């Protein structure tokens, strides 16, 4: 372990020295370290003076910590450029091959590059924070709470790791610096959203939320680093010269996984579906646990944000309710397709979100209805009504099919989204993704879609009647 780190640091030292020989890197780092904090000090001093005139010191009280965060963030933005260049830049200059033929392990090489891209901008960031703090202390006597200072330092560090680990993944998987720069949008845009969110928190002054952001970023950092290591492939790095779209190959790879060994639909259901479901055991367990946690969260929310009891009178559901739905032509094929397509649309949206979030956002989207059901059921209990009756009448009839469909859809998307973090087994990231897409689509098309259809039929034709029968009495 120590030897591994020592070898990684050999790479880091060389790269850091090399960066300091390049004025194009040194100049922005110095500017962002010295000039920018000075500018922020000036801004803070002006802002304090300005708001004091209008007796609104709270604005200054919020602005100064916010600027502290910004002063920390700006220098680490340089790390993105360095990290994007780390592997693919060396590949373009042909200097990567001597490193690849050396006895350095993949882990040492990867870690060395990661640290090299991170250390100078992060050092500049800490220095910038120090300059800013010294400035505001001298000028207006402001000192941050120690906890806030720790939060900002940790947040800056995990953000730097996030950008660098993401950019190093991009750099190791592309064949040109240009392609890496284009793909960097997938890092820059989420980071921009994150900073905006953090800005809101800083002005809201609810600093404890920063810990949750830090925790989430640590998890994402771990996933990025795992992805980078899993798909770091010496062969790909040297063998692949051009990023070309190969629709034919992509379609064949997907089709091969989707159809598998089956010769007929019956074969497919007999051989392929059970095998695919078996391989999704772990994500299925994760989904079930997530639903359980979501359901618990629903009950907690019910205590914090109770619904007015008059909204929870279920005995209002009577024959008039059925007639109302009938007037809307709910009891028809159109009603079924509307419910069915709505559920499928949610699966599509969850898939899209899951691909870009290692599956995490998909899980959140899919468990949301169950959190709401739990929230309403808990409110029923708080209002003295029977939550069991509510569940039996309005959820269980179609839920028997819909809840398993949600669990399996979530498992399929989670499995797809988490593909980059799984061991590569010699496959490229694209190949592994297509295979996972084939497997997940198999489960969605073969099981989830029919289950949702069955659930929609029940939800349209049976659930309202069962609800009226049980609740109107």
Partner 1 sequence: MILTQNLSKRFENFQAVDKVNLSLAAGEVLALLGPNGAGKTTTVRMLTSILRPSEGWAKVAGYDVVKQPDQVRASVGVLTENHGLYNRMPAGDYLDFFGQIYNLKPAVRKSNILELLERFGLIAEARKPIGEFSKGMRQKLALARALLHNPPVLLLDEPTSAMDPESARLVRDAIINLRSEERTIIICTHNLAEAEELADKIAIIRHGRIIAQGSSAALKARLLGAAEYELRLATPLDGYKPKLPSGATLTSSGPDWVRYHVDNAQQMNPVILHDLLEQGLPVVSLQEVPRSLEQVYLQAINSPNEADIHYVE
The footprint of partner 1 (CB under 8 A) covers 7, 10-11, 14, 17-18, 21-22, 90, 93-105, 234-235, 238-239, 249, 426
Q: How far is the CB of 17 from partner 1 (least distance, A)?
A: 8
- Count of residues making up the chain: 473
Provide the minimum distance between the beta carbon of 238 and partner 1 in the complex, in angstroms, as a whole number.
Answer: 6
In contact, 277 and 442? CB cutoff 8 Å = no
Shortest reach from residue 172's CB to partner 1, in Å: 15
By C-beta, is 248 or 384 nearer to partner 1? 248
Under 8 Å between Cβ of 343 and 456: yes
Cβ closest to partner 1, residue 14 vs residue 303: 14
Please tell me the distance from the alpha carbon of residue 340 to that of residue 454, in angstroms, as a whole number: 9
Q: Say how far apart CA 328 and CA 336 lie, in whole Å.
A: 13
Are the C-beta atoms of 202 and 58 separated by less than 8 Å?
no
Contacts of 16 (CB under 8 A, 6+ apart): 116, 119, 120
The span from the CA of 345 to the CA of 110, in Å, is 39
Q: Which is nearer to partner 1, 253 or 357 (CB)?
A: 253
| Nearer Cβ to partner 1 (111/408) | 111
Q: How many CB atoms lie within 10 A of CB 229?
A: 20
Distance CA 436, CA 246 (A): 17
Q: Residue 81 Cβ, how far from partner 1 at the closest point, in Å?
A: 17
* DSSP-assigned letter for residue 329: T
How many other C-beta atoms are found inside a 10 Å radius of the C-beta of residue 194? Answer: 17
Least distance in Å: CB of 84 to partner 1?
A: 19
CB 27 to partner 1: min, Å: 16
> Dihedral through CA 365, CA 367, CA 371, CA 376, nearest 10?
90
Which lies closer to partner 1 via its Cβ, residue 10 or residue 293? 10
Q: Is 452 exposed, middle or buried (0-12, 13-18, 19+ CB in 10 A)?
A: buried
Q: Which residues contact 306 (CB under 8 A, 6 or more apart)?
A: 379, 382
Query: Cβ neighbours of residue 370 under 8 Å, at least 6 residues apart?
Result: 291, 294, 295, 298, 403, 406
Minimum CB separation from partner 1 for residue 104, in Å? 6
Quick one: 96 or 380, whose CB is closer to partner 1?
Answer: 96
Residue number with CB closer to partner 1 (99 or 213) = 99
- Comparison of 10 and 292: residue with beta carbon closer to partner 1: 10
| Count of CB atoms situated within 10 Å of the CB of 1 | 5
d(CA 446, CA 54): 66
Shortest Cβ distance from residue 94 to partner 1 (Å)? 4
Query: Which residue matches tokens 């639903």?
Result: 291
Q: How far is the CB of 98 from partner 1 (least distance, A)?
A: 5
Nearest residue (CB) to partner 1, 105 versus 332 = 105
By the 10 Å C-beta count (0-12 exposed, 13-18 middle, 19+ buried), 274 is classed as exposed
Nearer to partner 1, 141 or 239 (CB): 239
231 within 8 A of 173, measured Cβ to Cβ: yes
Q: Could you tell me the smallest distance in angstroms from the CB atom of residue 82 to partner 1? A: 15
């Amino acid at each position: 372990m120590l030897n591994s780190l020592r070898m990684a640091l050999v790479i880091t030292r060389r790269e850091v020295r090399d960066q300091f020989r390049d004025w194009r890197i040194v100049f922005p780092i110095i500017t962002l370290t010295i000039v920018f904090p000075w500018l922020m000090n000036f801004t803070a001093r002006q802002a304090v003076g300005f708001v004091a005139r209008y007796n609104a010191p709270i604005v200054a009280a919020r602005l100064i910590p916010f600027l502290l965060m910004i002063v920390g963030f700006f220098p680490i933005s340089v790390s993105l450029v360095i990290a994007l260049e780390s592997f693919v830049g060396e590949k373009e200059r042909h200097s990567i091959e001597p490193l690849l033929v050396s006895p350095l392990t993949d882990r040492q090489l990867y870690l060395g590059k990661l640290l090299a891209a991170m250390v100078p901008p992060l050092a500049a960031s800490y220095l910038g924070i120090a300059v800013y703090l010294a400035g505001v202390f001298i000028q207006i006597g402001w000192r941050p709470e120690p906890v806030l200072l720790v939060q900002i330092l940790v947040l800056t560090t995990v953000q730097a790791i996030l950008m660098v680990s993401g950019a190093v993944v991009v750099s190791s998987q592309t064949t040109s610096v240009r392609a890496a720069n284009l793909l960097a949008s997938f890092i820059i845009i989420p980071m921009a959203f994150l900073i905006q969110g953090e800005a809101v928190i800083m002005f809201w002054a609810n600093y404890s939320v920063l810990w949750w952001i830090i925790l989430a970023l640590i998890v994402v950092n771990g996933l990025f680093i795992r992805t980078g290591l899993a798909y770091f492939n010496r062969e790909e790095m040297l063998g692949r010269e051009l990023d070309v779209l190969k629709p034919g190959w992509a379609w064949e790879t997907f089709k091969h996984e989707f159809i598998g060994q089956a010769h007929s639909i019956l074969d497919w259901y007999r051989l392929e579906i059970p095998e695919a479901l078996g391989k999704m055991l772990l994500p299925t367990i994760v989904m079930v646990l997530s639903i359980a946690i979501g359901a618990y969260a629903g009950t907690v929310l019910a205590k914090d944000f109770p619904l007015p009891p008059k909204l929870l009178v279920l005995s209002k559901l009577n024959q008039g309710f059925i007639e109302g739905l009938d007037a809307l032509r709910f009891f028809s094929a159109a009603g079924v397709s509307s419910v069915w397509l709505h559920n499928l649309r949610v699966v599509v949206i969850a898939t899209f979100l899951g691909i870009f979030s290692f599956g995490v956002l998909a899980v959140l989207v899919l468990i949301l209805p169950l959190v709401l059901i739990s929230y309403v059921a808990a409110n029923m209990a708080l209002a003295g009504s029977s939550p069991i009756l509510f569940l039996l009448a309005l959820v269980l009839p179609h839920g028997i099919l819909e809840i398993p469909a949600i669990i399996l859809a979530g498992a399929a998307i989670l499995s797809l989204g988490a593909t980059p973090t799984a061991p590569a087994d010699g496959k490229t990231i694209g190949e592994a993704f297509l295979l996972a897409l084939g497997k997940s689509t198999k489960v969605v098309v073969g099981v989830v879609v029919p289950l949702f259809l069955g659930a929609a039929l029940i939800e349209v034709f049976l659930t309202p009647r069962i609800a009226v029968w049980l609740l109107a009495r």
